[in-house]
């Protein structure tokens, strides 16, 4: 629905902030969606760096995505030693990224989930 409300297609998304629930079912579902619909997008995940901050997690991840878009730099996915699918490459070091649109999703307790699309700010527009 976030893509529909933004008037975008899944192919417009340049970077996905994976929420990474750290549960076998949740991670498998999130990963399969990212692989199928956002296979050309970069993937970032912050929980390996900071752990799960519970209620603040969405805010911290949103701030990280804003900084990623602002600075055109994607950070590494920390502590990912056994990915679900070895065919998909997650960043192990910081890399430059040319991103206009980023997708942030959060999966909450009891099915309280949300997604938002962010667009980079261009002063020249």
Q: For residues 74 and 83, give the distance between their C-alpha atoms in angstroms, rounded to a whole number.
A: 19
CA distance 103 to 115: 7
* 97 located within any domain: yes
| Residue 113 located in a structural domain | no
Summarize pLDDT for 70-91 with one digit per residue, the tens. 999 988 887 776 667 667 667 7
Domains in the chain, number: 1
How many residues are recorded in the chain? 125
CATH assignment of the domain containing 99? 3.40.47.10
Closest CA to 60 of 49, 70, 72: 49
Residue 44's domain comprises 7-106
> How remote is the C-alpha of 69 from its chain's centroid?
11
Sorting pLDDT into bands at 50, 70 and 90, what band is 124?
low
Of 57, 60, 69, which Cα lies nearest the Cα of 117? 69
Quick one: pLDDT at residue 29? 81
Is 125 a residue whose pLDDT tops 70?
Answer: no
pTM of the full structure: 0.82
80 with 90: CB under 8 angstroms? yes
């Amino acid at each position: 629905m976030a893509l529909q409300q933004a008037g975008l297609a899944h192919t417009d998304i340049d970077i996905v902030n994976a929420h990474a629930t750290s549960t076998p079912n949740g991670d498998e579902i999130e990963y399969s969606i990212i692989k199928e619909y956002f296979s050309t997008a970069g993937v970032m995940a912050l929980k390996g760096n900071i752990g799960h901050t519970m209620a603040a997690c969405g805010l911290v991840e949103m701030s990280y995505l804003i900084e990623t878009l602002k600075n055109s730099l994607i950070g590494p996915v920390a502590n990912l030693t056994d990915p679900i699918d070895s065919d998909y490459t997650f960043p192990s070091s910081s890399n430059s990224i040319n991103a206009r649109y980023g997708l942030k999703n959060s999966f909450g307790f009891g099915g309280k989930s949300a997604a938002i699309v962010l667009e980079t700010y261009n002063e020249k527009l």
